[in-house]
């Protein structure tokens, strides 16, 4: 009498694990570093579009960008005393970069003296080559 086979043998399970391991070994090197690229891309989008739009709206309403002394980017969420025609909040909260730190803002800027400097310190949290900025 023939018995019906139920389940998998140990060899079959090991073959599946080896095949999955080989696939992971081929794919992982291609994905390594992509999370940092994605974070840098998100920071660039914030700097170039999201925060920049809020700053432009503030400037249209008040005739100038928020000064660093007025709370910098905080002036986009809470009305500073120096704002004449504040129609905010322009942002719901103070913007945080993908690495969990506040974006840096200077107005007037040292690199862009005609408006403002806006940047993230990147992964290392220090001014270096991995910074994401609105100049250059």
What is the per-residue pLDDT for 22?
A: 85
Contact 106, 68 (CB under 8 A): yes
Domains of the chain by start residue, with CATH: 38-80+89-136 (3.30.700.10)
Average pLDDT in the 2-16 region?
77
pLDDT (tens digit, 9 = 90+) per residue, 85-108?
999 899 988 899 999 999 999 998
Residue 133 phi, psi dihedral angles, 5° rounding: -140, 165
CA dist 126 and 120 (Å) reads: 9
CA dist 92 and 90 (Å) reads: 7
């Amino acid at each position: 009498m023939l018995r019906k086979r139920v389940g998998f043998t140990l060899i079959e399970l090991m073959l599946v694990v080896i095949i999955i391991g080989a696939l992971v070994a081929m794919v992982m090197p291609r994905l390594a570093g992509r999370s940092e690229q994605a974070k840098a891309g998100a920071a660039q989008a914030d700097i170039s579009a999201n925060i920049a739009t809020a700053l432009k709206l503030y400037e249209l309403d008040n005739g100038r960008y928020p000064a660093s002394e007025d709370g910098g980017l905080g002036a986009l969420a809470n009305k500073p005393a120096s704002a004449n025609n504040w129609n905010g909040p322009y942002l719901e909260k103070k913007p945080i970069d993908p690495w969990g730190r506040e974006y840096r803002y200077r107005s007037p800027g040292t690199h862009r003296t005609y408006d403002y400097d806006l940047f993230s310190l990147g992964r290392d949290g220090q001014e270096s080559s991995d910074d994401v900025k609105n100049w250059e």
